[in-house]
Chain A
């Protein structure tokens, strides 16, 4: 039963991504509104995958990725970045600091589900 952490400040996108993730068999979705909230959720829940936006208040997605990768307890958790930043250099930067995949918005739900399944082995 994969626990998926959706980190997104936009309630619309958060709900949309959570909706899509709940369609993955036996998955449980945990929601966070920014990087700090995500770290709190990581400390209280066992998380198997993180889906994070980049542009968020309090702590952005890139900072979250670097903190997760620097923490021995969480560093093996796969991270998918979902963002409006579609430039190739943004993607390279995110991958360089430890993101496993990069999906520019607007997302195609089927594409996201396929990507998540390929990462968590669904």
Chain B
């Protein structure tokens, strides 16, 4: 009987231990479940924190790219501005080249001959073709009479251009003072009189005036004077004067040489008689 009681007691103890083991196992399972849940949460958090890092990285990249794009846009704008500047400068250089070509040709032609009449013809050509004058005259100072005498004209008869006293009127004043004259009304003076030119250009060798180019009217299509016209006037003032002066001297010396040569020939012939 006592033995049975012992066995029952031991069985109860075993059951108690078993139940405790069961409870412990249940607790372990619950704990395991909690840990799994926690692990899942942590994994999720880690994953999410990775996305955020990537998003931040992408945002940084977008920001950098935008900055680069803005910088490139700014550079592009600057290059466009520079291009515009270059285009403007190119046009200016082209214009300057063309003006220099005009001046070169005018100067080349003026000094291409020592024939007085040829030089006058070239002066007329330049004033007609390069400046666009319609009626004008070239007057030279006659030292003996102190008058400006017309030697060549275009668009008007030389007989219609009166001689001018040095220092008198527009032409005489231009000759005396050696300063160019430009009328303020070049457009309304298409029928300028032979006494009042719209432009007077002194022909000067250094400060010595030898004559005047007097322009009375411009071609209908010539609306105004441009920078190159003033350059041409300056060129004419100096180069035309030199060309006219030297060709006149040369022509005179040629004439004298011919006279002397004829005289010498005459002297040589005399002893034969």
Q: How far is the CB of B6 from chain A (nearest CB, A)?
A: 127
Contact indicator A16/B101 (Cβ below 8 Å): yes
Contact indicator A10/B125 (Cβ below 8 Å): yes
Give the total of B residues in contact with A, Cβ under 8 Å.
25
A87 on interface, CB distance cutoff 8 Å:
yes
Name the residue on B nearest A104 (C-beta). B221
Contact indicator A109/B219 (Cβ below 8 Å): no
Q: How far is the CB of B164 from chain A (nearest CB, A)?
A: 27
B219 contact from A10, A20, A105, Cβ within 8 A: A105
Contact indicator A15/B221 (Cβ below 8 Å): no
1/0 contact trace for A82-110 toward B, CB 8 Å?
A: 00101100000000000000001110111
Name the residue on B nearest A8 (C-beta). B129
CA gap between A16 and B104 in the complex, in Å = 9
A106 contact from B101, B105, B132, Cβ within 8 A: B132
Within 8 A of A (CB), among B98-134: 98, 101-102, 104-106, 108-109, 112, 122, 125-126, 128-132, 134
Give the total of A residues in contact with B, Cβ under 8 Å.
17
A121 on interface, CB distance cutoff 8 Å:
no
1/0 contact trace for A1-28 toward B, CB 8 Å?
A: 0000000001111011001100000000
Contact indicator A12/B220 (Cβ below 8 Å): no
B222 contact from A15, A16, A20, A106, Cβ within 8 A: A106
Q: Contacts of B122 on A, CB cut-off 8 Å?
A: 11-12
Q: Contacts of A87 on B, CB cut-off 8 Å?
A: 220
Name the residue on B nearest A18 (C-beta). B105
Contact indicator B131/A11 (Cβ below 8 Å): no
A-B complex: 3 closest residue pairs judged by Cβ atoms = A86-B221, A109-B98, A106-B132
> Could you show 20 A-B contacts with beta carbons less than 8 Å apart?
A10-B125, A11-B122, A12-B129, A12-B130, A15-B105, A16-B105, A19-B104, A20-B101, A84-B219, A86-B220, A86-B221, A105-B129, A106-B129, A106-B130, A106-B131, A106-B132, A108-B98, A110-B91, A110-B95, A110-B98
Given A12-B122, A87-B220, A109-B101, 16 more A-B residue pairs with CB atoms under 8 Å apart are A11-B122, A12-B106, A12-B125, A12-B126, A13-B125, A13-B129, A15-B105, A16-B101, A20-B98, A84-B129, A84-B132, A86-B219, A86-B221, A106-B132, A110-B94, A110-B98
